[in-house]
Amino acid sequence: MIFKNRDSKKNDLILLKKLLSCNLTEKQKFLINRELSNIQKGDAGENDAAYFINFYYGNSPRWAVIHDLRIEYNGQVAQIDHLLINRLFDFYILESKSYKNGIKINECGEFEALYNNKYYGIQSPLEQNKRHIYLLDLLLKNENILPKRLGISIKPKYFNYILISPNSTIKRPAKKRFNTDSVIKADTLKTVIDRNADTLPITEIGIIAKLASFSTISELADKIVSYHSPKQINWIKRFGINKEQLTPEKTLPDNSDKKIKHKYFCAKCKVGIPDKVAKFCWNNKAKFGGKPYCLNCQKSI
């Protein structure tokens, strides 16, 4: 069951595109275009993941689904792309990435993204997600959000997974060098979750299932969503845009395709001529015989 959908980026995209029509510097335009690209790429990755999550768990009475959860707590921020909670108090913290051109992970756990046929070092999404889990766990414990049994808060089990676009390629090191099982294609999530469930001892499943009804999970999910703090970005301040720059860029009218209509034409070459040129000829009948000529033809007479 979905308790929170993704926050829309539509207004941000509209504003950023409008800013591009203002009197900005080339650097400001470059930064805005890069931000637009990042938002659109991020949306693509999260849309892929959200589709597969909602397909299997969006209407499930056994799972709580929370998308795009932003928590500000204890002076720190966690931006969790997707959070899944089941009746066993399994918390799946999911970070979605598009990596359209592919990624490479080395034996030290360092990530590199492919761009223009070259790999560039990037922040480890696994480590990023660990920080998200740490802050979420801190919030749940310190704010007494977790349900209790016999006066003791239930301890959740956290799963850290990075969801990569199904169309991306992943180059991995040997498992004995660095285990990358937590980096998966978004369309394999259900298979991974099912496999994890199969490894739980039957006694543990029986005890916890009796403990947590879905109403308990629903109440927990509602409490977590109540801590969502949407990020409000002042794009004008971020890109250092002043008031004078906010007026739309003025463009000179293009008159290149507008033809000037003339009433008079050169008696020799038939080209159109301005009124004052024709009158000059008429005022000099002795030279031009009372006929109008263009400036070029006047020189040959």
Give the model confidence (pLDDT) of 190-211 as tens digits.
Answer: 999 999 987 766 555 555 554 6
- For residue 56, what pLDDT is reported? 95
- Residue 153: inside a domain, yes or no? yes
The full DSSP string for 20-85 is TTBS--HHHHHHHHHHHHHHHHHHHHHHHHHHHHHHHHTT-TTEEEEEEEEEEETTEEEEEEEEEE
Asked if 135 and 174 sit in the same domain, the reply is yes
- Copy the structure tokens of residue 274: 């301005």
* In-domain check, residue 39: yes
- 166/273 same-domain check: no
253 domain-assigned: no
Same domain flag for 146 and 290: no
Residues 107 and 34 in one domain: yes
Are 95 and 184 in the same domain?
A: yes
Judge whether 43 lies within some domain: yes
Residue 269 binned pLDDT confidence (cut-offs 50, 70, 90): confident
Is 237 domain-assigned? yes
Same domain, residue pair 116 and 226 = yes
Per the structure, the complete domain to which residue 291 belongs is given by 264-298
Question: Does residue 129 carry a pLDDT above 50?
Answer: yes
User: Do 51 and 170 fall into the same domain?
Assistant: yes
Q: Are residues 290 and 149 in the same domain?
A: no
User: Above pLDDT 70, what percent of the chain?
Assistant: 90
Q: Flag whether 212 is in a domain.
A: yes
State pLDDT tens for residues 210-265. 467 889 999 999 999 999 998 888 888 888 888 888 876 554 344 434 445 667 78
**Per-residue pLDDT at 158:** 97
- Average the pLDDT over 174-178 and give the result: 91
Q: Provide the domain count of the chain.
A: 2
Two structure tokens written together for 106? 């080395």
Which tokens in the block code for residue 286? Answer: 């002795």
For residue 76, is it within any domain?
A: yes
- The pLDDT tens digits of the residues spanning 31-71 come to 999 888 878 777 766 788 899 999 999 999 999 999 999 99
pTM of the model: 0.72
Q: Which residue has the tokens 């020799």?
A: 268
Task: State whether 222 and 275 are in the same domain.
Answer: no
